[in-house]
Amino acid sequence: MIKNKSKLFDWINLKYYKDKRGILLAMQEKNTSKDALPIKIKRIFILKNLNPKLTRGNHTLKTTTQIIFCLVGSCEIELDNGFTKKTIRLRNFYKGVIIPPMVWRTLKNFSKDAIILVIADREYKEEDYIRNYEDFIQQVRRRI
């Protein structure tokens, strides 16, 4: 059996600050700060009012790395690199998942209050997306 040595994902835990006024979570572009994200920020988007019975994502990105946080509520993300599949749960606003290029992602099982923040290291370009799972698998197999 062929095994893919590339990672499906990595976790990122950002430090947050809490006092009597509330909670502060800071994020910065890649640098040496402890609040820094491991990627340059080129695009940010938010998902909310999500239907718990439907999915989002259902694609891979050829060259883009994304970091996904569930700021409110919870959700699951099914990750697949063509060889290995894993489902993870996001439920802490300070803990995100780093998804490298060529990992299929399906977001699902949203809590009714879920708010998702997605940070990408590239601007949106439709040609960077593979939206058909069989096409994704074919491209993964060609790379071996």
Q: How many domains does the chain have?
A: 1
pLDDT value, residue 63: 97
How would you classify the pairing of strands 43-47 and 75-80?
A: unpaired
22 part of a folded domain = no
Which residues, in sequence order, are CB contacts of 57 under 8 Å at separation 6+? 77, 105, 106, 107
pLDDT value, residue 1: 31
5 part of a folded domain = no
CATH number at residue 81: 2.60.120.10
> DSSP assignment, residue 139?
H
8 HSE (CA, 13 A, CB side):
16
pTM (two decimals) = 0.89
123 part of a folded domain = yes
pLDDT value, residue 32: 61
- Domain containing residue 63: 41-142
131 part of a folded domain = yes
8 part of a folded domain = no
34 part of a folded domain = no
pLDDT value, residue 6: 66
pLDDT in tens, the chain (144 residues): 334 456 889 998 888 899 999 999 888 887 666 667 888 999 999 999 999 999 999 999 999 999 999 999 999 999 999 999 999 999 999 999 999 999 999 999 999 999 999 999 999 999 999 999 999 999 998 887
50 part of a folded domain = yes
Helices (H) and strands (E) in the chain, counts: 1, 12
- Transcribe 84-129 into DSSP letters: -EEEEEE--TTEEEEE-TT-EEEEE---TT-EEEEEESS---GGGE
pLDDT value, residue 2: 36
119 part of a folded domain = yes
